[in-house]
Structure 1
Amino acid sequence: MIKNMKICVLGCGATGSVFASYLMKGGADDIWLVDLNKAHMDAIRDNGLLLKDPDGESLLKGFHTAYSADEVGPCDILIVLVKSTHTHSAMQGAASCITEKTAVVSLQNGLGNDLDLAQFVPENQIGCGCGRLGTVLESPGVCVSKPAQGITNMYIGPVYGGELAAKACKYIVDCFAKGGLNPEYLDDVRPALWKKAAANSGFNTVCAVLGLTMRQVHEDETALALVKQVLKEASDTAAALHIADNLYDGLVSDIPKAVASYGDYYPSLAQDFLIYKRQTEVNTLSGAISRFGKIAGVQTPTCDVLSQIVTAVQANYDKRYKDKD
């Protein structure tokens, strides 16, 4: 393992905090956390970061914290964990962290994040990853991790090849493994990204539009059929792009396990859509499947309509019908 790599986690909400915790538990010792959440950054600076996971509780100290990436300086690895809607502005703000020797690794949701990063760094510096774990920011300085148990729960690797990206991704995988996750390094991470994005697109957008939890969607025949249609369109598109063959069967077989683990939750996009009335990451989920489908010549009618509904509603949150008190 390469020693003393300087890592900046750009976007340190629930997921960023959990990943940073596993990096430190796994031996990384120069980690900067950057987030606009002043209360969270101050709590970590003053008291450390408390990770709660199936192994118990770990209070981790020694993180550097900042409200802006301008305070960090050049890094060996920049891990991008802002919402995809903020990638462009976040990367502009992190310009001082990046040199020709910096690997930029997106662990964000969805598809197309590598294309956003390629606007700022050469392709050989870009890595991506995805995981199977639930994360919660319980309070400032306290994060909760609910990783999938007994299976690989993180996939990380370069997108376009390149020694620099590969070296950084292997370092992250090594730290995650020693820190308590079950990660896997992949020379080509794209099939894993597509499988995760397809699964997320199905339940995220359907739960959002219907206002139902994953379990409620699973128990409704019509709603579940919508999820499966999204999965089929994603699988057909990935096959047409020569990324992965027949993702569909595996995606469908994984549904009961996902519902057993997370069934009573609203997925993250649904939370943004239903509860917080925020701009969602639909453009990197069902919206991205629609865009890539057009490129590949694959029809994606379910993804098209679901992403159009979410996009239209989130542009008009303040105008929607409300029941009178």
Structure 2
Amino acid sequence: MRAYQIVGGNRLAGTVTAHGAKNAVLPILSAAVLCRRTVIENCPTLSDVAVSCHILRHLGIAVDRQQSTLTLTRTDEGCRDIPVEWMRAMRSSILFLGGMLARCGLVTLSRPGGCSLGGRPIDLHLLAMRQMGAVIEEEGDTLRCAAPHGLHGAAVRLPYPSVGATENLLIAAAGTPGETAITGAAREPEITDLIAYLQGCGARIETDADGALLVQGRRELTGCRHTVLPDRIEAATYLAAAAMTGGEITVFARPEHLAAPLAALRRAGCRITADAESVSLTAPARLLGMGSIVTLPYPGFPTDLQA
């Protein structure tokens, strides 16, 4: 097991750029099964990205990586199953379900793993796919999923704004002719980034007056060149580290995605300035108490950051 030795007690200061967001690039990679060719820029180097690339190759997608740019090209129909070891390597592996059902009408996979906190429920994912016409047989951890007559557009109401279920729905709907209306969708910036990617590939996605997402899908998407947005969790972590050590830092990220963390840091006495592409923080000599922090779906305080 790799170990890190940290020598603390130093003031952190400087300038840093947040990498591409893990929680944005993974659903985009899953959606790429619908496209002939996709170019993804600002792609972070992460183990989950590597696993996604293994899955894509297995599904008939050629993957070429040049530094932070991934080029994905469909070469053949590939397989219609995802090996158990790759499904269990990361929790976002379930996001391949919607794209594969839309593309092939058939996929066999297992329940995802990859979380040290325990199994993550996928009931909302399965509920949504069934409402779009999928037949899903569950046998232990194995899921045999088919759409004998193809997926169809549907009106789907999510009982909770699940990020993953929203992403799976968007991907499936983008690759399915007809209109799908999603009510109760999550609103995280990473979902907005996925929508931008799918729109660039040819899907029509709008928000109606009641806040529902309306998706007009296509049998095959063209693909596009897309730049992944900066990771807001990484950016906020750098800011918190500088605050705790009495430092001064500038982070290149998207300030509009950091409202809740920045509010907490201001309550702690930090001086914060921001422009369109960066946030600068100067810590006080002694941090103040910031009060209770309650995690909530976006735009509330992110669960991953409070950990």
> By the TM > 0.5 criterion, same fold?
no
Considering fraction of residues, name the structure with more strand. Answer: 2
Considering fraction of residues, name the structure with more helix. Answer: 1
Give the TM-score normalised by structure 1. 0.29
- Structure of greater Rg: 2
